[in-house]
Structure 1
Amino acid sequence: MENTEEKEGSPTESGKLELLRQVATGIAAQFGSDCEVVVHDLSRHPDHSIVHIVNGHVSGRKVGDGASTVVLEQMESNDPEPKDHLCYLTKTPDGKILKSSTVYIRNGKGRVSAILSINYDISRLLMVEGALRELVTTQEPAQSEPEKIVNVNDLLEDLIQQSVALVGKPVALMNKDDKVRAIRFLNQNGAFLVTKSGDKIAKYFGISKYTLYSYIDTKQQEGKTV
Protein backbone atom coordinates (compact mmCIF):
# COMPACT_ATOMS: atom_id res chain seq x y z
CA MET A 1 0.00 0.00 0.00
CA GLU A 2 1.34 3.46 -0.89
CA ASN A 3 2.49 5.54 2.06
CA THR A 4 0.48 8.77 2.02
CA GLU A 5 2.03 10.30 5.15
CA GLU A 6 3.59 13.73 4.82
CA LYS A 7 7.36 13.79 4.83
CA GLU A 8 9.64 16.54 6.00
CA GLY A 9 10.81 18.54 2.99
CA SER A 10 7.94 17.23 0.87
CA PRO A 11 5.81 19.59 -1.26
CA THR A 12 3.10 19.27 1.40
CA GLU A 13 5.47 20.61 4.08
CA SER A 14 6.59 23.41 1.77
CA GLY A 15 2.97 24.25 1.14
CA LYS A 16 2.34 24.36 4.88
CA LEU A 17 5.13 26.92 5.37
CA GLU A 18 3.74 28.98 2.50
CA LEU A 19 0.31 28.91 4.15
CA LEU A 20 1.86 30.07 7.43
CA ARG A 21 3.51 32.97 5.59
CA GLN A 22 0.13 33.95 4.18
CA VAL A 23 -1.52 33.71 7.60
CA ALA A 24 1.27 35.74 9.21
CA THR A 25 0.93 38.50 6.63
CA GLY A 26 -2.85 38.60 7.15
CA ILE A 27 -2.60 38.82 10.94
CA ALA A 28 -0.03 41.61 10.76
CA ALA A 29 -2.16 43.54 8.25
CA GLN A 30 -5.21 43.18 10.51
CA PHE A 31 -3.51 44.55 13.65
CA GLY A 32 -1.07 47.04 12.13
CA SER A 33 2.59 47.94 12.47
CA ASP A 34 2.77 47.18 16.20
CA CYS A 35 2.01 43.51 15.52
CA GLU A 36 5.01 41.33 14.64
CA VAL A 37 4.29 37.85 13.26
CA VAL A 38 7.10 35.30 12.86
CA VAL A 39 7.29 31.88 11.19
CA HIS A 40 10.03 29.52 12.45
CA ASP A 41 11.00 26.44 10.43
CA LEU A 42 12.27 23.84 12.95
CA SER A 43 13.94 21.76 10.23
CA ARG A 44 16.53 24.54 9.99
CA HIS A 45 19.46 25.21 12.31
CA PRO A 46 18.39 27.34 15.30
CA ASP A 47 20.79 30.07 14.12
CA HIS A 48 18.57 30.61 11.05
CA SER A 49 15.08 29.38 11.99
CA ILE A 50 13.14 32.51 10.92
CA VAL A 51 11.80 32.00 7.38
CA HIS A 52 9.18 34.77 7.44
CA ILE A 53 8.62 37.85 9.57
CA VAL A 54 6.27 40.81 9.24
CA ASN A 55 6.89 44.05 11.16
CA GLY A 56 10.28 42.83 12.32
CA HIS A 57 11.05 46.32 13.62
CA VAL A 58 9.07 45.37 16.74
CA SER A 59 11.84 43.04 17.97
CA GLY A 60 14.58 44.07 15.53
CA ARG A 61 14.72 40.68 13.80
CA LYS A 62 14.68 39.65 10.13
CA VAL A 63 14.46 36.56 7.90
CA GLY A 64 17.48 34.33 8.51
CA ASP A 65 17.91 35.38 12.12
CA GLY A 66 18.09 32.84 14.91
CA ALA A 67 15.66 31.27 17.30
CA SER A 68 14.10 32.89 20.34
CA THR A 69 14.09 31.28 23.78
CA VAL A 70 10.72 29.63 23.11
CA VAL A 71 11.96 28.01 19.90
CA LEU A 72 15.20 26.81 21.51
CA GLU A 73 13.23 25.25 24.36
CA GLN A 74 11.12 23.28 21.86
CA MET A 75 14.21 22.15 19.93
CA GLU A 76 15.92 21.11 23.15
CA SER A 77 12.96 19.24 24.68
CA ASN A 78 11.58 17.93 21.37
CA ASP A 79 8.25 17.69 23.18
CA PRO A 80 5.92 15.74 20.85
CA GLU A 81 2.82 17.40 22.30
CA PRO A 82 3.71 20.93 23.43
CA LYS A 83 0.84 23.11 24.59
CA ASP A 84 0.39 26.35 22.68
CA HIS A 85 1.59 29.26 24.82
CA LEU A 86 -1.01 32.01 24.48
CA CYS A 87 -1.25 35.59 25.74
CA TYR A 88 1.91 35.95 27.82
CA LEU A 89 4.26 38.92 28.25
CA THR A 90 7.69 39.25 26.66
CA LYS A 91 10.23 42.08 26.55
CA THR A 92 12.58 43.13 23.75
CA PRO A 93 16.20 44.12 24.45
CA ASP A 94 15.27 47.80 24.01
CA GLY A 95 12.52 47.55 26.63
CA LYS A 96 9.30 47.18 24.60
CA ILE A 97 6.59 45.16 26.36
CA LEU A 98 4.89 42.66 24.06
CA LYS A 99 1.78 40.54 24.37
CA SER A 100 2.83 37.28 22.75
CA SER A 101 1.39 33.95 21.62
CA THR A 102 3.27 30.88 20.37
CA VAL A 103 1.46 28.28 18.25
CA TYR A 104 3.10 24.91 17.47
CA ILE A 105 2.47 23.53 13.97
CA ARG A 106 2.70 19.75 13.42
CA ASN A 107 3.55 17.81 10.29
CA GLY A 108 1.80 14.68 9.01
CA LYS A 109 3.65 12.52 11.53
CA GLY A 110 2.44 14.63 14.45
CA ARG A 111 5.84 16.18 15.14
CA VAL A 112 6.27 19.92 15.60
CA SER A 113 7.83 21.23 12.39
CA ALA A 114 7.13 24.96 12.61
CA ILE A 115 6.17 27.70 15.07
CA LEU A 116 3.94 30.70 14.47
CA SER A 117 4.68 33.54 16.91
CA ILE A 118 2.62 36.70 17.38
CA ASN A 119 4.14 39.63 19.30
CA TYR A 120 2.01 42.74 19.80
CA ASP A 121 3.74 45.83 21.17
CA ILE A 122 1.52 47.06 24.00
CA SER A 123 3.99 49.57 25.43
CA ARG A 124 1.87 52.58 24.51
CA LEU A 125 -1.36 50.83 25.45
CA LEU A 126 -0.05 50.23 28.96
CA MET A 127 -0.06 54.00 29.49
CA VAL A 128 -3.83 53.98 29.00
CA GLU A 129 -4.44 50.55 30.50
CA GLY A 130 -7.54 51.65 32.37
CA ALA A 131 -9.39 52.39 29.13
CA LEU A 132 -8.02 49.41 27.23
CA ARG A 133 -7.84 46.82 30.04
CA GLU A 134 -9.66 44.12 28.08
CA LEU A 135 -7.18 44.31 25.20
CA VAL A 136 -3.98 44.08 27.26
CA THR A 137 -5.06 41.65 29.99
CA THR A 138 -3.13 38.36 29.88
CA GLN A 139 -4.48 34.92 30.73
CA GLU A 140 -1.57 34.13 33.04
CA PRO A 141 -0.84 35.56 36.50
CA ALA A 142 1.16 38.77 36.42
CA GLN A 143 4.88 38.17 35.94
CA SER A 144 7.40 40.11 37.99
CA GLU A 145 9.68 40.25 34.94
CA PRO A 146 8.43 39.56 31.39
CA GLU A 147 10.29 36.98 29.34
CA LYS A 148 12.81 38.43 26.90
CA ILE A 149 12.79 38.06 23.14
CA VAL A 150 16.40 37.89 22.02
CA ASN A 151 18.31 36.72 18.97
CA VAL A 152 20.25 33.49 19.31
CA ASN A 153 23.55 35.40 19.34
CA ASP A 154 22.44 37.42 22.36
CA LEU A 155 20.72 34.45 24.01
CA LEU A 156 23.96 32.63 24.88
CA GLU A 157 25.34 35.65 26.72
CA ASP A 158 22.04 36.06 28.56
CA LEU A 159 22.03 32.38 29.60
CA ILE A 160 25.63 32.59 30.83
CA GLN A 161 24.75 35.57 33.01
CA GLN A 162 21.72 33.68 34.35
CA SER A 163 23.95 30.70 35.23
CA VAL A 164 26.34 32.99 37.16
CA ALA A 165 23.40 34.56 39.00
CA LEU A 166 22.13 31.06 39.84
CA VAL A 167 25.43 30.13 41.48
CA GLY A 168 25.62 33.51 43.21
CA LYS A 169 29.32 34.24 42.83
CA PRO A 170 31.67 35.43 40.05
CA VAL A 171 33.54 32.84 38.00
CA ALA A 172 36.83 33.74 39.68
CA LEU A 173 35.44 32.50 43.01
CA MET A 174 33.68 29.38 41.69
CA ASN A 175 34.91 25.93 42.64
CA LYS A 176 34.34 22.81 40.53
CA ASP A 177 30.87 22.12 41.97
CA ASP A 178 29.81 25.71 41.25
CA LYS A 179 30.94 25.45 37.64
CA VAL A 180 29.24 22.08 37.19
CA ARG A 181 26.01 23.61 38.51
CA ALA A 182 26.26 26.57 36.13
CA ILE A 183 27.06 24.39 33.12
CA ARG A 184 24.23 22.03 33.98
CA PHE A 185 21.86 25.03 33.89
CA LEU A 186 23.21 26.03 30.47
CA ASN A 187 22.78 22.50 29.14
CA GLN A 188 19.21 22.25 30.40
CA ASN A 189 18.27 25.58 28.82
CA GLY A 190 19.55 24.87 25.31
CA ALA A 191 22.76 26.90 25.38
CA PHE A 192 24.70 24.18 23.56
CA LEU A 193 22.35 24.40 20.57
CA VAL A 194 24.02 27.71 19.70
CA THR A 195 26.84 27.43 17.16
CA LYS A 196 30.33 27.35 18.75
CA SER A 197 28.80 27.80 22.21
CA GLY A 198 31.15 25.19 23.69
CA ASP A 199 34.21 27.30 22.89
CA LYS A 200 32.71 30.45 24.40
CA ILE A 201 31.40 28.71 27.54
CA ALA A 202 34.69 26.89 28.17
CA LYS A 203 36.65 30.14 27.80
CA TYR A 204 34.23 32.02 30.08
CA PHE A 205 34.56 29.48 32.90
CA GLY A 206 38.31 29.06 32.39
CA ILE A 207 38.19 25.33 31.57
CA SER A 208 39.02 23.19 28.57
CA LYS A 209 36.33 21.88 26.21
CA TYR A 210 37.17 18.36 27.41
CA THR A 211 36.49 19.41 31.00
CA LEU A 212 33.33 21.23 29.91
CA TYR A 213 31.80 18.16 28.33
CA SER A 214 32.99 15.93 31.15
CA TYR A 215 30.99 18.12 33.53
CA ILE A 216 27.89 17.60 31.36
CA ASP A 217 28.48 13.83 31.15
CA THR A 218 28.99 13.65 34.91
CA LYS A 219 25.61 15.23 35.59
CA GLN A 220 23.89 13.05 33.02
CA GLN A 221 25.33 9.93 34.61
CA GLU A 222 24.27 11.10 38.07
CA GLY A 223 20.76 11.61 36.75
CA LYS A 224 20.67 8.03 35.50
CA THR A 225 21.82 6.53 38.81
CA VAL A 226 19.45 8.42 41.11
Structure 2
Amino acid sequence: MNDDMNLDFLKRLAKGIVNHFGSNCEVVIHDLKSDSLQKTIIEIENGHVTNRKIGDGASHIVLDTINNDNDSLEDSIGYLTKTHDGRVLKSSSIYIRDENKEPIGIFCINYDVTELTIAENSIKSLLNHKDEKKEVEEIPQNVNDLLDNLIEQSVKMIGKPVALMSKEDKIKSIQFLNKAGAFLITKSGDKISKYFGISKYSIYNYIDVKR
Protein backbone atom coordinates (compact mmCIF):
# COMPACT_ATOMS: atom_id res chain seq x y z
CA MET A 1 0.00 0.00 0.00
CA ASN A 2 1.61 3.22 -1.16
CA ASP A 3 2.29 6.08 1.22
CA ASP A 4 -0.05 8.43 -0.64
CA MET A 5 -2.72 10.93 0.39
CA ASN A 6 -5.17 8.17 1.31
CA LEU A 7 -2.68 6.54 3.67
CA ASP A 8 -1.91 9.94 5.22
CA PHE A 9 -5.64 10.44 5.82
CA LEU A 10 -6.00 6.96 7.38
CA LYS A 11 -3.08 7.66 9.72
CA ARG A 12 -4.65 10.95 10.80
CA LEU A 13 -7.99 9.19 11.22
CA ALA A 14 -6.35 6.54 13.41
CA LYS A 15 -4.81 9.22 15.62
CA GLY A 16 -8.12 11.07 15.83
CA ILE A 17 -10.03 7.94 16.89
CA VAL A 18 -7.64 7.02 19.72
CA ASN A 19 -7.53 10.63 20.93
CA HIS A 20 -11.32 10.61 21.03
CA PHE A 21 -11.77 7.25 22.78
CA GLY A 22 -8.67 7.25 24.98
CA SER A 23 -5.89 4.85 25.95
CA ASN A 24 -8.07 1.71 25.86
CA CYS A 25 -8.58 2.15 22.11
CA GLU A 26 -6.06 0.81 19.58
CA VAL A 27 -6.12 1.43 15.84
CA VAL A 28 -4.05 -0.71 13.46
CA ILE A 29 -3.48 -0.45 9.71
CA HIS A 30 -2.39 -3.66 7.96
CA ASP A 31 -0.78 -3.53 4.50
CA LEU A 32 -2.09 -6.45 2.46
CA LYS A 33 0.51 -5.77 -0.23
CA SER A 34 3.42 -6.26 2.17
CA ASP A 35 6.18 -8.58 0.95
CA SER A 36 6.16 -10.43 4.28
CA LEU A 37 3.40 -11.69 6.58
CA GLN A 38 5.75 -10.83 9.44
CA LYS A 39 5.61 -7.10 8.63
CA THR A 40 2.03 -6.15 7.73
CA ILE A 41 1.47 -3.44 10.37
CA ILE A 42 2.36 -0.06 8.85
CA GLU A 43 0.62 2.12 11.44
CA ILE A 44 -0.57 1.55 15.00
CA GLU A 45 -1.85 3.88 17.68
CA ASN A 46 -1.99 2.80 21.35
CA GLY A 47 -0.13 -0.41 20.52
CA HIS A 48 0.10 -1.19 24.25
CA VAL A 49 -3.45 -2.58 24.01
CA THR A 50 -2.22 -5.68 22.12
CA ASN A 51 1.50 -5.15 22.71
CA ARG A 52 2.27 -4.69 19.00
CA LYS A 53 4.20 -2.11 17.01
CA ILE A 54 4.85 -0.92 13.45
CA GLY A 55 6.61 -3.70 11.53
CA ASP A 56 4.87 -6.54 13.39
CA GLY A 57 3.03 -9.28 11.55
CA ALA A 58 -0.32 -10.59 10.41
CA SER A 59 -3.42 -11.39 12.44
CA HIS A 60 -6.19 -13.89 11.65
CA ILE A 61 -8.10 -11.46 9.47
CA VAL A 62 -5.03 -10.83 7.29
CA LEU A 63 -4.64 -14.57 6.65
CA ASP A 64 -8.38 -14.90 5.96
CA THR A 65 -8.18 -12.08 3.44
CA ILE A 66 -5.20 -13.51 1.58
CA ASN A 67 -6.67 -17.01 1.65
CA ASN A 68 -10.18 -16.15 0.40
CA ASP A 69 -11.84 -14.80 -2.70
CA ASN A 70 -12.11 -11.00 -2.75
CA ASP A 71 -15.83 -11.09 -3.59
CA SER A 72 -16.59 -12.91 -0.33
CA LEU A 73 -14.81 -10.39 1.90
CA GLU A 74 -16.97 -8.16 4.08
CA ASP A 75 -16.16 -5.65 6.80
CA SER A 76 -16.60 -7.02 10.33
CA ILE A 77 -17.97 -4.65 12.96
CA GLY A 78 -18.19 -5.10 16.72
CA TYR A 79 -16.91 -8.67 17.19
CA LEU A 80 -15.01 -9.91 20.26
CA THR A 81 -11.31 -10.78 20.30
CA LYS A 82 -8.79 -11.28 23.09
CA THR A 83 -5.15 -10.44 23.70
CA HIS A 84 -2.32 -12.87 24.41
CA ASP A 85 -2.71 -12.18 28.13
CA GLY A 86 -6.48 -12.71 28.10
CA ARG A 87 -7.92 -9.19 27.95
CA VAL A 88 -11.18 -8.91 26.01
CA LEU A 89 -11.46 -6.48 23.09
CA LYS A 90 -14.36 -5.24 21.00
CA SER A 91 -12.99 -5.13 17.46
CA SER A 92 -13.94 -3.87 14.02
CA SER A 93 -12.08 -4.54 10.76
CA ILE A 94 -12.73 -2.46 7.65
CA TYR A 95 -11.17 -3.21 4.26
CA ILE A 96 -9.21 -0.51 2.45
CA ARG A 97 -9.74 -0.96 -1.28
CA ASP A 98 -8.10 0.50 -4.37
CA GLU A 99 -9.85 2.00 -7.40
CA ASN A 100 -10.54 -1.53 -8.68
CA LYS A 101 -12.21 -2.52 -5.39
CA GLU A 102 -9.30 -4.85 -4.57
CA PRO A 103 -8.44 -5.01 -0.83
CA ILE A 104 -5.02 -3.43 -0.23
CA GLY A 105 -5.20 -2.92 3.51
CA ILE A 106 -7.27 -3.37 6.66
CA PHE A 107 -8.21 -0.63 9.14
CA CYS A 108 -8.74 -2.25 12.55
CA ILE A 109 -10.13 -0.79 15.78
CA ASN A 110 -9.64 -2.71 19.04
CA TYR A 111 -11.19 -1.38 22.25
CA ASP A 112 -10.27 -2.99 25.58
CA VAL A 113 -13.58 -3.82 27.27
CA THR A 114 -12.11 -6.13 29.93
CA GLU A 115 -13.16 -4.01 32.90
CA LEU A 116 -16.59 -3.42 31.38
CA THR A 117 -16.95 -7.17 30.80
CA ILE A 118 -16.02 -7.88 34.43
CA ALA A 119 -18.64 -5.35 35.58
CA GLU A 120 -21.21 -6.86 33.19
CA ASN A 121 -20.52 -10.38 34.49
CA SER A 122 -20.85 -9.17 38.08
CA ILE A 123 -24.24 -7.68 37.29
CA LYS A 124 -25.33 -10.82 35.42
CA SER A 125 -24.33 -13.02 38.35
CA LEU A 126 -26.71 -11.06 40.55
CA LEU A 127 -29.56 -11.30 38.08
CA ASN A 128 -29.06 -14.68 36.43
CA HIS A 129 -27.28 -17.89 37.47
CA LYS A 130 -26.95 -19.13 33.89
CA ASP A 131 -23.31 -19.17 32.78
CA GLU A 132 -22.97 -18.35 29.08
CA LYS A 133 -19.47 -18.76 27.67
CA LYS A 134 -18.49 -17.70 24.17
CA GLU A 135 -15.28 -18.59 22.38
CA VAL A 136 -13.46 -15.43 21.27
CA GLU A 137 -10.59 -15.04 18.86
CA GLU A 138 -7.12 -14.26 20.21
CA ILE A 139 -5.07 -11.48 18.63
CA PRO A 140 -1.49 -12.77 18.23
CA GLN A 141 1.55 -10.59 18.89
CA ASN A 142 3.47 -12.14 15.97
CA VAL A 143 3.14 -14.83 13.28
CA ASN A 144 4.63 -17.51 15.53
CA ASP A 145 1.85 -16.86 18.07
CA LEU A 146 -0.64 -16.86 15.21
CA LEU A 147 0.54 -20.30 14.07
CA ASP A 148 0.42 -21.64 17.64
CA ASN A 149 -3.12 -20.32 17.97
CA LEU A 150 -4.23 -21.98 14.72
CA ILE A 151 -2.71 -25.29 15.79
CA GLU A 152 -4.52 -25.00 19.13
CA GLN A 153 -7.79 -24.38 17.29
CA SER A 154 -7.23 -27.45 15.10
CA VAL A 155 -6.73 -29.64 18.19
CA LYS A 156 -9.81 -28.15 19.88
CA MET A 157 -11.84 -28.94 16.77
CA ILE A 158 -10.91 -32.63 17.02
CA GLY A 159 -11.48 -32.70 20.78
CA LYS A 160 -8.56 -34.90 21.76
CA PRO A 161 -4.78 -34.52 22.22
CA VAL A 162 -2.47 -35.35 19.31
CA ALA A 163 -1.26 -38.50 21.08
CA LEU A 164 -4.78 -39.94 20.81
CA MET A 165 -5.54 -38.78 17.27
CA SER A 166 -6.15 -41.26 14.49
CA LYS A 167 -4.90 -40.67 10.95
CA GLU A 168 -8.38 -39.44 10.05
CA ASP A 169 -8.27 -36.93 12.93
CA LYS A 170 -4.91 -35.61 11.75
CA ILE A 171 -6.20 -35.26 8.18
CA LYS A 172 -9.08 -33.12 9.50
CA SER A 173 -6.65 -30.99 11.52
CA ILE A 174 -4.26 -30.47 8.60
CA GLN A 175 -7.10 -29.55 6.25
CA PHE A 176 -8.44 -27.10 8.84
CA LEU A 177 -4.99 -25.48 9.07
CA ASN A 178 -4.73 -25.30 5.29
CA LYS A 179 -8.13 -23.63 4.99
CA ALA A 180 -7.18 -21.18 7.76
CA GLY A 181 -4.07 -20.14 5.83
CA ALA A 182 -1.52 -21.58 8.28
CA PHE A 183 0.74 -22.79 5.49
CA LEU A 184 1.14 -19.22 4.22
CA ILE A 185 3.37 -18.63 7.26
CA THR A 186 7.08 -19.17 6.59
CA LYS A 187 8.39 -22.57 7.79
CA SER A 188 4.99 -23.51 9.20
CA GLY A 189 5.25 -26.97 7.61
CA ASP A 190 8.24 -27.84 9.81
CA LYS A 191 6.45 -26.88 13.01
CA ILE A 192 3.14 -28.51 12.07
CA SER A 193 4.74 -31.79 10.95
CA LYS A 194 6.72 -31.99 14.19
CA TYR A 195 3.65 -31.15 16.31
CA PHE A 196 1.48 -33.85 14.72
CA GLY A 197 4.31 -36.39 14.44
CA ILE A 198 4.07 -36.72 10.67
CA SER A 199 6.38 -35.97 7.75
CA LYS A 200 6.11 -32.86 5.59
CA TYR A 201 5.35 -35.23 2.69
CA SER A 202 2.35 -36.56 4.67
CA ILE A 203 1.09 -33.01 5.18
CA TYR A 204 0.77 -32.46 1.43
CA ASN A 205 -0.95 -35.83 1.04
CA TYR A 206 -3.40 -35.01 3.86
CA ILE A 207 -4.25 -31.66 2.24
CA ASP A 208 -5.13 -33.43 -1.01
CA VAL A 209 -7.38 -36.08 0.58
CA LYS A 210 -10.92 -35.67 -0.76
CA ARG A 211 -13.63 -35.54 1.87
Structure 1 length-normalised TM: 0.81
1:179 aligns with 2:170: yes
Partner of 1:26: 16
- Residue type matched to 1:203 in 2? K
Classify the secondary structure of the residue corresponding to 1:119: strand
Change (3 A) 1:180 1:127: closer
Classify the secondary structure of the residue corresponding to 2:110: strand
Partner of 2:181: 190
Partner of 1:134: none
How much does 1:30 deviate? 1.3
**Among 66, 84, 92, the residue aligned to 2:57:** 66
Q: Residues 56-105 of structure 1, C-alpha deviation per residue, up to 9 Å, x if partnerless? A: 00011111111111221111114235221111111111121111111111
Give, in whole Å, the separation in 2 of the partners of 1:166 and 1:124. Answer: 30
Classify the secondary structure of the residue corresponding to 2:173: helix
Paired residues of 1:66 and 1:153 also in contact (CA < 8 A): no
- Residue type matched to 2:179 in 1? Q
Give, in whole Å, the separation in 2 of the partners of 1:143 and 1:14. Answer: 44
Paired residues of 1:51 and 1:64 also in contact (CA < 8 A): yes
Paired residues of 1:25 and 1:54 also in contact (CA < 8 A): yes
1:35 aligns with 2:25: yes
- Residue type matched to 1:186 in 2? L
Give, in whole Å, the separation in 2 of the partners of 1:190 and 1:144. Answer: 23
Give, in whole Å, the separation in 2 of the partners of 1:143 and 1:32. Answer: 28
**Among 71, 81, 105, the residue aligned to 1:90:** 81
Match runs of 1:3-18 below 5 Å? 9=2, 14-18=4-8
Divergent runs of 4+, >4 A? 127-130
1:162 aligns with 2:120: no
Percentage identity across aligned positions?
51
Give, in whole Å, the separation in 2 of the partners of 1:190 and 1:116. Answer: 20
Partner of 2:138: 148
Structure 1 residue runs without a partner (length 5+): 1-7, 131-141
Q: Kindly tell me the number of residue pairs found equivalent between the two proteins.
A: 199
Structure 2 length-normalised TM: 0.86
